[in-house]
Amino acid sequence: MPGSARLCLIAGVLVLSLALVNALTAGDFPPSLQRAEVLAGMAAVGLMLVAVLWTRAIPRPAEAAQLSGEQGLRIDEELDEALTLELAWGSHQFLTATSAASMLVMWDGKVLLRRGLITSNSFVPGAICQRASQRQELISLVKTALYPGRNEFDPVLPGLPSVMVQPLGHRGWVVLGGWSERCFTRSDERWLAGWSERLRRTLDLVGDGIQESHPSPQKGA
């Protein structure tokens, strides 16, 4: 509960307590005192209601999940310098400026980048990725526990509490996993969509020259 809401709740309880004490210690109970007690009780209940509504308006942020994985950076060595720098810069920004814990970029069935908390498991796009490609729009799983297809992203990092999937045209995806439920904002979604479009254009220019191979580990992040 925020400090201001807690203060409001304490004030309500205090007013209600004083009103009860005043009513119990009064020698007689004339109509004027009755009206005062009713008004004091309404004021106390109003303050406590404000505290409850205040808490709902500013909910407690979800706690970060205990995720297991290796902290690292893996970029395909066959990529040219410009594309490597673009992937390194973009992934660094998302992992430092948002609540992202892990990032994966796939293009033409090949993983080009893994960064953050990563695994060595092979990622195979499933129904959610295919839906993102069909719609050509970002899909945000704000609470993966509510989605039956969440196991699709276990090869990225097991137990991710939230995931964003952004298609790269019909040839790839950017998968961003968060530390906690509902951790990504609308601004994060717009940023991911914008950067992914820029990355897709770059990949369209140079991606046809990328031959299939397994990504090799580079220096840790």
Q: If DSSP codes are grouped into helix, strand and coil, which group holds residue 51?
A: helix
Neighbours of 44 (CB within 10 A): 20
For residue 86 the two structure tokens come to 């673009």
In the block, tokens 């390194």 appear at: 88
Q: If DSSP codes are grouped into helix, strand and coil, which group holds residue 178?
A: strand
The per-residue pLDDT string of the chain (221 residues; one tens digit each, 9 = 90 and over) reads: 667 777 888 888 888 888 888 777 877 768 887 788 888 888 888 888 888 887 765 556 667 778 888 899 999 998 989 899 999 999 999 999 999 999 999 999 999 999 999 999 999 999 999 999 999 999 999 999 899 888 999 999 999 999 999 999 999 999 999 999 999 999 999 999 999 999 999 998 875 555 444 444 444 43
**Type of residue numbered 63:** E
Rounded (10°) CA dihedral 138, 142, 143, 144 = 20
Q: If DSSP codes are grouped into helix, strand and coil, which group holds residue 96?
A: helix
Give me the residues paired with residue 116 across strands.
72, 102
pTM of the model: 0.69
Burial class of residue 212 (count of CB atoms within 10 Å of its CB; 0-12, 13-18, 19+):
exposed
Question: Could you give the CA distance from residue 169 to residue 166 in angstroms, rounded to a whole number?
Answer: 9
Phi, psi values for residue 183, rounded to 5° = -90, -15
Neighbours of 193 (CB within 10 A): 15
Q: Which residue from 41, 18, 27, 113 is spatially nearest to 72, judged by alpha carbons?
A: 113
Q: Which strand (E) or helix (H) includes residue 32?
A: helix 31-57
Which residues touch 122 (CB under 8 Å, ≥6 apart)?
Answer: 155
| DSSP character string of 57-108 | HSPPPPPPP----EEEEEE-TTS-HHHHHHHHHHHHHHHHHSSEEEEEEEET
Q: What is the pLDDT of residues 39-92, one digit of tens each?
A: 888 888 888 888 888 776 555 666 777 888 889 999 999 898 989 999 999 999
